[in-house]
């Protein structure tokens, strides 16, 4: 690299892994359940320096998944390595993975004239907050959207971002899945006020860009817990 050139900024891999517990696990002896949870926690702790893991629970909220691990790393292989070890624990043997979304960080092309970091990030590094809730869903635009001119898309995104500015309590994390997974983006909204997120989504439905949304489901409402607390919500 020539003198004076900037080093390219590394981009992160991002994974949202959703797990469902087999009800048979709850019928195991208490000491076996406790040991399985401890093994699960130790595996996560083993990767502390290489993978950021933020745990959430959905017990009592969704019927098809119980806990979610939001994982962030510079090495894709670590997700696979960690998952293999998690599934081999006493708890992991009773877990299935109904949903798992893979994405990467990438600078948005629409934010040059916007400075509200909570809504459209200019960062290539995820900085997870400490909000009580996160709302996660895969997102796909119609092909017609990508065939519009950049100016046309920018105008609609300006409206979209302006709506987001009305809800400063909601922090948006947008990650990109083009070619990596079925969706094009995975969006994750952090907030302590679910009512603000509900109002934000309703307001976005009325924007011009909304007509180009092809798919934005399933939507997951997740409660942030420590890993031990999240595992304890599994009922054992």
Distance CA 52, CA 36 (A): 22
Q: Which of 189, 88, 90 is nearest to 139 (CA)?
A: 189
- What CA–CA distances, in Å, run from 29 to 20, 25, 34, 90, 180? 19, 9, 9, 12, 41
pLDDT (tens digit per residue) in 91-143:
999 999 999 999 999 988 766 554 444 444 556 788 887 899 999 999 999 99
Q: How far apart are the first and last CA of the chain?
A: 55
Residues in the chain: 236
Query: In a structure prediction context, what are the per-residue pLDDT tens digits for the chain, which is 236 residues long?
Result: 555 555 667 899 999 999 999 999 999 999 999 999 999 999 999 999 999 999 999 999 999 999 999 999 999 999 999 999 999 999 999 999 999 999 999 988 766 554 444 444 556 788 887 899 999 999 999 999 999 999 999 999 999 999 999 999 999 999 999 999 999 999 999 999 999 999 999 999 999 999 999 999 999 999 999 999 999 999 86
Question: Which ranges constitute the DSSP H helices of 61-210?
Answer: 76-87, 143-147, 150-165, 194-205
Distance CA 99, CA 197 (A): 22
Cβ pair 174, 187 in contact under 8 A: yes
Residues forming beta bridges with residue 96, ordered by sequence position: 20
* Residue labelled with tokens 């489901």: 217
What's the pTM? 0.90
Assigned token pair, 97: 């993975």
- Cα torsion 166, 194, 62, 98 to 10°: value is 40
Distance CA 44, CA 86 (A): 8
Fold for 13-103, please state it: Alpha-Beta Plaits (3.30.70)
Per-residue DSSP letter, 89: S
Which 3 state secondary structure label does DSSP give 138?
Answer: strand
Q: Which of 118, 124, 123 is nearest to 188 (CA)?
A: 118
Instruction: List the chain domain ranges.
Output: 13-103, 107-222
Architecture of 107-222 per CATH? 2-Layer Sandwich (3.30)
Per-residue DSSP letter, 233: T
Q: Do domains 13-103 and 107-222 have the same CATH topology?
A: yes
Distance CA 137, CA 65 (A): 14
């Amino acid at each position: 690299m020539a003198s004076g050139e900037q080093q390219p900024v590394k981009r992160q891999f991002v994974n949202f892994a959703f797990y469902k517990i087999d009800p048979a696990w709850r019928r195991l002896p208490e000491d076996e359940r406790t040991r399985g949870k401890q093994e699960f926690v130790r595996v996560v702790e083993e990767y502390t320096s290489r993978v950021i893991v933020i745990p959430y629970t959905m017990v009592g909220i969704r019927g098809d998944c119980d806990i979610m691990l939001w994982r962030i790393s510079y090495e894709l292989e670590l997700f696979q390595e960690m998952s293999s070890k998690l599934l081999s624990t006493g708890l992991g043997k009773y877990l299935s993975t109904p949903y798992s979304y893979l994405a990467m960080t990438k600078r948005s092309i629409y934010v040059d004239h916007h400075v509200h970091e909570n809504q459209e990030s200019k960062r290539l590094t995820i900085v997870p907050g400490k909000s009580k809730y996160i709302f996660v869903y895969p997102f796909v635009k119609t092909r017609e959207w990508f065939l519009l001119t950049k100016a046309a898309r920018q105008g609609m995104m300006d409206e979209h971002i302006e709506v987001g500015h009305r809800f400063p309590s909601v922090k948006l994390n947008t990650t990109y899945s083009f070619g990596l997974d079925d969706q094009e983006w995975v969006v994750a909204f952090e907030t302590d006020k679910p009512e603000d997120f509900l109002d934000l989504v309703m307001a976005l439905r009325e924007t011009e860009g909304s007509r180009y949304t092809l798919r934005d489901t399933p939507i997951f409402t997740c409660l942030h817990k420590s890993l031990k607390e999240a595992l304890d919500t599994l009922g054992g």
